[in-house]
Amino acid sequence: MGAQSITSGGRLILNQAFPRALLPLSSAISAWRQFVPTIPVYIAIVITGKIIFPDSSMPGLTWNYLLVPLVFLPLVMTSFGLALIFATMNVYFRDTGKLLSYIMRIWLYISPVLWLPQMLTGASQILLYLNPFGPVLAANSRIWIDGLTPTALQFIAAYGWAAITLIIGGYFFISRERDFAVRMSVAKIIALSFGDAH
């Protein structure tokens, strides 16, 4: 959503003067708002599961759930930073949005979503921290699956990646922001000329 936020808001960009970064930001906030309602559902499942299966390895309710907002903050910040990068790329290379669906699928498999972070041992753990979403997803896993407090390294790396993606994404976006209206106008003219030719 963030990658296509600028190109899909083409008319708005051509007709209104406003901070363009609001479009990727609104995409990140929209994704966050879609995710928030799943939290009480998961907590209800945990409570029900512990009542029905008290001997299960499910952690049940722990005080660590209070750390969830501290884990979601770097997740939203990293998502916004990456949205700024890919939204800018999508203005210059229109196939970025299509390519991104494949990249996201590969990224899902190398992130600790379908596998547990504990599966990486020794020197291979560095791979977890080279992934912008690796530390934040590992911290999330420790809270929800293990019922433990995330490690200090996970928090530091999660907020570090959030700062890096925001700085790089913000600089990349702002340095190209003035060209967006020109690029959008040229793309519209080309689309109209090819439409008339057919």
Report the SS3 class of residue 152.
helix
Report the SS3 class of residue 60.
coil
pLDDT of residue 198: 47
Of the two residues 9 and 20, the one the predictor is more confident about is 20
Question: Could you report the per-residue pLDDT of 109-152, keeping only the tens digit for each?
Answer: 888 888 888 888 888 888 889 999 999 999 998 888 888 899 99
- The answer to whether 32 and 80 are in contact (CB under 8 A) is no
Percent of the chain exceeding pLDDT 90 equals 19
Look at residue 194 and tell me whether its pLDDT is greater than 60: yes
Residue type at 183? R
**How far apart are alpha carbons 49 and 34 in whole angstroms?**
24
Q: How many domains does the chain have?
A: 1
Mean pLDDT, rounded, of the chain: 80
Residue ranges making up the domain that contains 50: 5-197
pTM equals 0.77
- The answer to whether 92 and 183 are in contact (CB under 8 A) is yes
